[in-house]
Chain A
Amino acid sequence: GAGVSQSPSNKVTEKGKDVELRCDPISGHTALYWYRQRLGQGLEFLIYFQGNSAPDKSGLPSDRFSAERTGESVSTLTIQRTQQEDSAVYLCASSLAMGETQYFGPGTRLLVL
């Protein structure tokens, strides 16, 4: 594909609801990453996938956050029982392999009311 795509681009939800964020990486990229960018802050690493496996989940903020990847392609980040502090832009990136240059998607802007 042309680049990393993410959907939805914007999501407004009520506190306590579950949300799913989707990432389509660049075709052929084996590594996929999720980051969070809170307003006025830097990027916070959440989780990465090598193929369909996530070797390190320590960056996920709480057990309300989970992620999966299937077919070494699409990934979904799920946030259960959303809280207002979850409001942020969630960025996905992919790279040809681990340690290679990461290319970012446009992000999903999540607002929890």
Chain B
Amino acid sequence: GNSVTQMEGPVTLSEEAFLTINCTYTATGYPSLFWYVQYPGEGLQLLLKATKADDKGSNKGFEATYRKETTSFHLEKGSVQVSDSAVYFCANYNQGGKLIFGQGTELSVKP
């Protein structure tokens, strides 16, 4: 079945630093890929998505590119802010319509 592996946290960065959170997946076929974010005390929100190979999803300065050859969907941001502190989840769809989530990566941005 499908699976998602993301880098372990917590990740601590200074404001304006470059962010990469690695995500790799296994899947049957080429499912849509997602990054969700969970801010402290809030629910899970869709951050960005990509539906086919080589697609780039982007939102709020974050980007991720669907790489079929490396089965990866790494999340990047050029300059993080304190307000980006949250837990980030990578996910893909399996054939049964279930979202398969990674374990989550906690990001803490210090001023």
How many residues in A have their beta carbons less than 8 Å from beta carbons of B? 23
Q: Residue on B with the closest CB to A102? A: B99
The number of chain B residues with a CB under 8 A from chain A is 20
Which chain B residues lie closer than 8 Å to A43 at the CB level? 44, 89, 99, 101
CA distance A108 to B65 in the complex (A): 33
Total number of A-B contacts with CB less than 8 angstroms?
49
Enumerate chain A residues within 8 angstroms of B44, measured Cβ to Cβ: 43, 91, 93, 104, 107
A102 vs B99: C-alpha distance when bound (angstroms): 8
Using Cβ atoms and an 8 Å threshold, which residues of chain A touch B43?
A: 91, 104-107
Among residues of B, the one whose C-beta sits closest to the C-beta of A89 is B43
A65 in contact (CB, < 8 A): no
Give the distance in Å from the alpha carbon of A89 to the alpha carbon of B103 in the complex: 15
A62 at the A/B interface (Cβ < 8 Å)? no
* Most interface-central of A45, A55, A105, A107 (chain B CB within 10 A): A45
Q: Which residue of B lies closest to A91 (CB)?
A: B44
Chain A's nearest CB lies how many Å from the CB of B1?
A: 11
| Beta-carbon contact of B98 and A45 below 8 Å | yes
